[in-house]
């Protein structure tokens, strides 16, 4: 069995123009001071990493790694959530998602998609140059506007949507495979890969591609009323990354899963800081140990109530206290009678 590495922190929600959150060196010093051992890096802010340069220059990749290591931290993974979203965009969302791309690619869906695909390919090589073995992204969505079957979907629509999604992602998955890096989709509302069933549809279309792996984040499943512990039993062989994020779901007589168009603070389902929600993390960390999860426990802070710096400080301790240092011996070894083939035959009556 393996002991999960951590605690680590996803930096996306903390980056800002204010110190210490405005440079890689200072934000790493801040994270280390809270007790984190690793950082997960988003890749759209060049103050923290130039993704293309990290892909094309081993020297630059070593420099980025050196800055993080100098703070006593490791890079856990890179993230291309926003770029991955742009690999597949239903036209209804074109204007809403344009802000994820540089200005030069806006109002031009084809050019925007080509940019996003290249970003993912850079991420594969950059991950290899940094010595990483997993990467996280979003799948994007062609079908999400039709997630609820009203009006009735045209026959073959879902089949066509996943066929096209696989057509776009297969060349990217092949690049990750060539680089020896698992591409982990964060299963998430708003993506075509938003639960186990949709992930399986995608896997079938990409031929069970060995690099089409998963990031596990139980908070998204609480808000969907999906059994997040059974999900681990089903998909543990594909799970390579772990966002430790809490959530709560408190349906009322006025709203449930869909949230009634309310702001986050007024929704029945809300993300919470670690320990403030309903996720059973003791059970999750136990299953992660049982299934030899090979990666990091990474805090992702998203809470409508608590200050992010408090959430980060509390989260570091929360993860540290939940990581199970796995045993190297069986608890009943003291009662073992040793190996004796003759005795075994006698006990079995043979």
The number of helices, as runs of H, and strands, as runs of E, in the chain is 13, 10
Domain range for 222: 5-348
d(CA 121, CA 139): 14
d(CA 235, CA 168): 23
Q: Report the pLDDT value the prediction gives residue 252, as an integer from 0 to 100.
A: 98
If you count them, how many residues does the chain have? 350
Alpha carbons within 13 angstroms on the beta-carbon side of residue 112 total 27
pLDDT tens profile 67-119 = 999 999 999 999 999 999 999 999 999 999 999 999 999 999 999 999 999 99
pLDDT tens profile 248-260 = 999 999 999 999 9
User: Quick one: average pLDDT of 276-283?
Assistant: 98
**CATH label of the domain that carries residue 338:** 3.20.20.150
Q: Report the pLDDT value the prediction gives residue 110, as an integer from 0 to 100.
A: 97
pLDDT tens profile 20-38 = 999 999 999 999 999 999 9
Residues 286, 324 contacting (CB under 8 angstroms): yes
d(CA 66, CA 314): 27
Residues 345, 21 contacting (CB under 8 angstroms): no
Residue of 253, 247, 252 lying closest to 269 (CA atoms): 247
pTM of the model: 0.96
Q: Report the pLDDT value the prediction gives residue 338, as an integer from 0 to 100.
A: 81
How many structural domains compose the chain?
A: 1
User: Quick one: average pLDDT of 202-218?
Assistant: 98
Q: Report the pLDDT value the prediction gives residue 135, as an integer from 0 to 100.
A: 99
């Amino acid at each position: 069995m393996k002991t999960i590495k951590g605690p680590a922190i996803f930096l996306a929600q903390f980056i800002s123009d204010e110190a210490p959150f405005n440079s890689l060196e200072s934000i790493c010093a801040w994270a280390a001071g809270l007790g984190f051992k690793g950082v997960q890096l988003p890749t759209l802010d060049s103050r923290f990493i130039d993704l293309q340069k990290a892909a094309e220059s081993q020297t630059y990749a070593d420099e980025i790694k050196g800055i993080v290591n100098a703070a006593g931290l490791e890079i856990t993974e890179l993230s291309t959530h926003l770029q991955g979203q742009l690999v597949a965009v239903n036209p209804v969302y074109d204007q809403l998602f344009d802000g994820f791309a540089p200005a030069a690619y806006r109002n031009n869906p084809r050019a925007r998609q080509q940019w996003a695909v290249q970003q993912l390919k850079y991420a594969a090589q950059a991950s290899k140059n940094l010595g990483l073995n997993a990467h996280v992204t979003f799948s994007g969505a062609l079908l999400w506007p039709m997630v609820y079957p009203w009006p009735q979907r045209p026959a073959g629509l879902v089949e066509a949507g996943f066929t096209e999604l696989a057509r776009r992602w297969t060349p990217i998955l092949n690049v990750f495979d060539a680089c020896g890096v698992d591409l982990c989709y964060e299963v998430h509302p708003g993506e075509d890969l938003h639960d186990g069933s949709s992930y399986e549809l995608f896997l079938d279309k990409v031929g069970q591609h060995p690099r089409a792996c998963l990031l596990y984040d139980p908070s998204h499943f609480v808000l969907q009323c999906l059994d997040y512990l059974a999900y681990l039993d089903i998909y543990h062989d594909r799970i390579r990354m772990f966002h430790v994020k809490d959530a709560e779901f408190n349906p009322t007589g006025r709203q449930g899963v869909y949230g009634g168009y309310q702001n986050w603070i007024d929704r029945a389902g809300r993300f919470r800081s670690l320990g403030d929600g309903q996720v059973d993390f003791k059970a999750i960390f136990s299953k992660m140990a049982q299934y030899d999860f090979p990666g990091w426990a990474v805090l992702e802070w998203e809470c409508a109530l608590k200050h992010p710096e408090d959430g980060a400080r509390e989260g570091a301790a929360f993860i540290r206290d939940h990581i199970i240092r796995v045993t190297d011996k069986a608890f009943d070894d003291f009662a073992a009678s040793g190996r004796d083939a003759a005795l075994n035959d006698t006990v079995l009556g043979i």
